[in-house]
Structure 1
């Protein structure tokens, strides 16, 4: 039999297609990133595009709305109480297994950059598909294939996984808050999201030891004042969804575990009450599996042998499933009735003392009651046999932490209150990456507006018309506010948008409210907003401040284009509304404050001293969060520079003597060989000197020079620097400007 290497092996040697192989094995050749690990990966802006999507022209919203949701749920619930021979259900019920699948699909969400979550069914692809914490979720999805096949393209994997989680809760007696469909699947692996610095051994990530590594992810130790998780990460370890169930570094310390829990759940947008509700509610169901040593389990799906057809974690013990199942190495259930919604988890957590033991098969740390008369839980696959109840270190953490303990006791004594809390926390967990509620589809969307949905008030009257727009443009011009300030303010209002979780944007005018109005990057907007309010108050038109901010930006771009000799009308779509402090979750929105915003040449002062990431990498990340392509990124930045839109009014990157004119001067200087660049602070800032006279002409940051130093970005810059580039540049800038202003307008666009 040929010895095939797994696909994680790095190619070293001659080309196998030329007849030379390495030990007769198929291997992977080095990538561009292997050769040049420090290169800026601009191609990340173009992943998951239309070319990869077989359904790019498919109206998913219409197709999903045509599904009979009652029939679909009936199909799912019928399936949940069956069992197949190749992967039999625990307790004759797949519901707990499917809750875990749905939870882990949604639980990757992190609030710092909105990445993760269930919205694109990324659990199907590497690296998430092959994380240790997702062991055997591949079986859950494969079990669901007959249902997915029946409903075809009208039902995305992303929607099916979350709806199945809801159905699983419902058949066990739990009342869910609701379900919103509308998630569209991704079609390729995510090679852009930063999940952490640890090296994961993908030949056997099911081994428990793989959960120990935390190098570079944390500073300090649990309990230290400087104990901190690296931004923007959410989970305590790269291969986990939340925390190590055995405690940090598997130390078995519940107090340390509580610290990790609080940090990681906060990074995922959950407060203490929601955290307790999710853990206690989730652990009311199902069991943990640890009947086989981790080092016997095969590789995960991404590197499994081809004949396994996308299924990983091959288990050679017994039949490889049922009572021989292995996931995280901890064995047992939390309650005597693992398929019924009840309060036994919290009751038993406090009714008994728990002692730490070691799983004799896997070596994993877990806990059992000290009272021999404590209730038992049924064996999931052996009729008539029972096991001792089990708790994880992360469960005991809820008992020892004083804040979590108080919440647990309150929930224990108020089962109805606990039920409501878990129901709403589950709804938040599974929907919070979908953006505004207007994107939810189906008859089960919760009527209640939740703060995490960034709700907006209803519009008061019709949107302004063309004649009113024209009058307001003249009124804005009459204020005397500069082109630079108008453009800066409009961009600042819109640039908070994140395509990852569909939050932010200009609608709502949150730029005028805390916390955005107080962000350092927005310091220039205060006076402009005051002048725009004056226009609003003086006008008879029913115009929102949000619309007026964007309209002011349109006026600025039109004036700047005219100054460059190009007449253009910038598109403007009215209908935005102004939200209120009461409808703004200021604490959660604070996470959206930029660390680096290269468009406005802003770098958080503390960034350079604490981060090992180059500012231009964070600039790339910001462009990606806004859903921009590389050409759009280049055009937008070049325009922002000549418009004079630096956050502090500095001249960095403003390579022009005619600020406020939408010229190609930024690109002309960037590509010219008449100058040379120099730095005196190890490449943080730069000066541009005339080669002949030595005169310093301009100043720049890394967020400016990247457009001349990076080959892909420079190639685009050269398009605009050419003798025929001016009109193309204005046209392209106006197009991307309108795109940015409309990023959050789900009230008038699909997606």
Structure 2
């Protein structure tokens, strides 16, 4: 947490890399937990080493999959009966809740990896009974196998449900690839109980903007807001503020938020027709005989109307299987009063509505049942901004349907990155600004000639390397945003970020941009190529020779293609690779380093070789000397590792939180460091990596590994190169 701001200003997950009950951190809770860098390694992936998911998707019978999903919607299963004979509402909820864990601050969560199959998401109270939805879809997954990921199937089921209800959807992109284990080191909050009071997450519960970053949900175990009201106390006006903040943290504006709220409740129902006291435990806590099912309902009796999820009971429209304007008809044409559901949850019900206007019971088409609204629904009526948007929707139903379809597409595709990652026949042709569009770049220019001009430009290797690094380091594998492609480092807001050293950046761009224009190359390519030139110079200075791989074709985005506001969350507030922090935070420098490395897709070994190598390249922020354990600054050497592990020195903390390396014999200060440097000697795992590169026989390996890791970072966002 920023030492000078509220918790809402700090994007890092407090204790997320240390708080754990794993064997090491159980006994030594302050030990740095590196698991976040190895969440989805080869050890957990059951697919063959040469398996390429994109190649597999190309063989998929797209129309056959869609047809089979639609069949599932209408084929009522005795073991889990459908509401009004369709699973449409259930599948919408499955897709919604899979996508709804996404948060913009760090790009984690979301539907892009099928993570709802694993703990903790599969057992969140908000996801009750979605285990049943996934089992209903299993025959389709089984039939199409590797080519159809769970992540794609889950979202496709929601799309097909809306189409079956009469909505023309905006499109669909296949291409999500499943993970194979829980994301145990994603920070979902510090609470140790489900649905703990919201005060745990806010500096001031009356100021929704003080919700702790990077969180977006108001309770542990919920996707968005509490449907009964803030802390379970109904107050639609107050709830509206929390709805607005929560959806804004998913990059949704007020119109998209209103469309999703209203359209999301246009089909299906909430379930709470009986008390939850007898409902069984969640899947992760259930017995082995449950086979992954949770929330056992002994009173269910095979009756759709007795299902239990949220505890709220009822539908939002008269015809809950059709996508129509019924939600607005109910919300704005009737008065509503607070009542308790049979399960004891607060909900809003219409005043004096005749039976002829009510929806039918989900399990008995002859019995009318009161419709309901949640506190978030009532916020659409009470809040003046949301009310005005809803009035616009009611005046133009086609506009509402299109707005909802686009917002639904954004919700369910937000973490897939650029359109280059989308596959299948239903990918919309339109470039959407939230997809961070980038035009195709030129590949036909003379790369060798441009390299020569860059080398002769007068820019130092450190200036070239730092600029390329700063351009590429924004990449987030979590939602595939950022990176060097597009050269957005020269646009607002990135050109003014403190971490990019605006004065140095402007100088380098002032030299590189004319060279790019003369060569017919993109600025994005030229920035990366410049970094490679600088690195090759540093490799030569270190006594070695290596060509750094380069693939042309990056494009240059412009301001019209850039949502500057949403890019603000990509600003690095710390970069351990350049030994820099924007401010003082409660989170340690080494934890912030891990967070950055994981978002960039680096392993622990790759993080180690990059940091150690960059210390000697002279690219520390502002030229600071922290961690520069070498007398050969500007050369790519193993000196960082050699001196870190040299027992002729000892380390000593000093008052400002930094450290001094002193000669054991004389006591003279040799080097200074931060904790982000010393962790590579103190942490047993990181030290094992550091010792590899400190060995006398691994100088060539070090150069090779550094170049490979550097190239990985530079190409992380080259989705245009995917097969």
TM-score range (shorter-chain normalised) is over 0.9
Q: Which has the higher contact order (CA 8 A, sep 6+)?
A: 2
Alignment CA distance shift 1:378-1:32 (3 Å): same
CA contact (8 A) 2:78 2:302 kept: no
Give the Cα–Cα distance (whole angstroms) in 2 for the partners of residues 403 and 318 of structure 1.
Answer: 41
Confirm whether residue 220 of structure 1 aligns to residue 193 of structure 2: no
Tell me the equivalent position of 2:306.
324
Alignment CA distance shift 1:107-1:318 (3 Å): closer
Tell me the equivalent position of 1:176.
169
Give the Cα–Cα distance (whole angstroms) in 2 for the partners of residues 666 and 216 of structure 1.
Answer: 42
Give the Cα–Cα distance (whole angstroms) in 1 for the partners of residues 444 and 471 of structure 2.
Answer: 19
Confirm whether residue 275 of structure 1 aligns to residue 224 of structure 2: no
1:164-214 Cα distance to aligned partner (Å, 9 max, x none): 1111000100010011101111111111211111112xxxxxxxxx42433
CA contact (8 A) 2:440 2:553 kept: no
Q: 2:448 aligns with which of 465, 470, 477?
A: 470
Tell me the equivalent position of 1:642.
616
Alignment CA distance shift 1:211-1:294 (3 Å): farther
Confirm whether residue 746 of structure 1 aligns to residue 723 of structure 2: no
Q: Give the C-alpha shift of residue 44 in structure 1.
A: 2.5
Q: 1:364 aligns with which of 345, 366, 380?
A: 345
Tell me the equivalent position of 1:691.
664
Q: 2:399 aligns with which of 404, 410, 417?
A: 417
Q: 5+ residue gaps in structure 1? A: 1-27, 201-209
Confirm whether residue 258 of structure 1 aligns to residue 240 of structure 2: yes
CA contact (8 A) 1:198 1:215 kept: no
1:136-155 Cα distance to aligned partner (Å, 9 max, x none): 00000001111111112221
Tell me the equivalent position of 2:548.
570
Give the Cα–Cα distance (whole angstroms) in 1 for the partners of residues 371 and 577 of structure 2.
Answer: 56
Give the Cα–Cα distance (whole angstroms) in 1 for the partners of residues 199 and 302 of structure 2.
Answer: 33
CA contact (8 A) 1:197 1:215 kept: no
Alignment CA distance shift 1:342-1:681 (3 Å): farther
How many residues end up aligned between the 2 structures?
700
Confirm whether residue 511 of structure 1 aligns to residue 489 of structure 2: yes
Give the Cα–Cα distance (whole angstroms) in 2 for the partners of residues 436 and 326 of structure 1.
Answer: 38
Confirm whether residue 100 of structure 1 aligns to residue 96 of structure 2: no
Confirm whether residue 620 of structure 1 aligns to residue 594 of structure 2: yes
Give the Cα–Cα distance (whole angstroms) in 2 for the partners of residues 112 and 326 of structure 1.
Answer: 33
Tell me the equivalent position of 2:131.
138
Greater displacement, 367-376 / 541-550: 367-376
Greater displacement, 73-82 / 513-522: 73-82
For 1:234, what is the secondary structure of its paired residue?
coil
- Displaced runs of 4 or more, over 4 A: none
Q: Give the C-alpha shift of residue 51 in structure 1.
A: 2.7
Greater displacement, 179-188 / 716-725: 716-725
Q: Give the C-alpha shift of residue 603 in structure 1.
A: 1.4
CA RMSD, aligned part only? 1.7
Tell me the equivalent position of 2:425.
443
Tell me the equivalent position of 1:536.
516
Confirm whether residue 525 of structure 1 aligns to residue 505 of structure 2: yes
Tell me the equivalent position of 2:63.
70
Give the Cα–Cα distance (whole angstroms) in 2 for the partners of residues 215 and 198 of structure 1.
Answer: 11
Tell me the equivalent position of 1:377.
359
Q: 2:227 aligns with which of 224, 245, 248?
A: 245
CA contact (8 A) 1:243 1:260 kept: yes
What are the residue-to-residue correspondences of 1:595-614 with 2, within 5 Å? 595-605=573-583, 607-608=584-585, 612-614=586-588
1:320-378 Cα distance to aligned partner (Å, 9 max, x none): 6522211111011111000001111122211122111122x322110011233482111
Give the Cα–Cα distance (whole angstroms) in 2 for the partners of residues 685 and 346 of structure 1.
Answer: 60
Give the Cα–Cα distance (whole angstroms) in 2 for the partners of residues 283 and 463 of structure 1.
Answer: 52
Return the TM-score normalized by structure 1. Answer: 0.91
Give the Cα–Cα distance (whole angstroms) in 2 for the partners of residues 365 and 697 of structure 1.
Answer: 66
What are the residue-to-residue correspondences of 1:714-729 with 2, within 5 Å? 714-729=687-702
CA contact (8 A) 1:315 1:321 kept: no
Alignment CA distance shift 1:463-1:499 (3 Å): farther
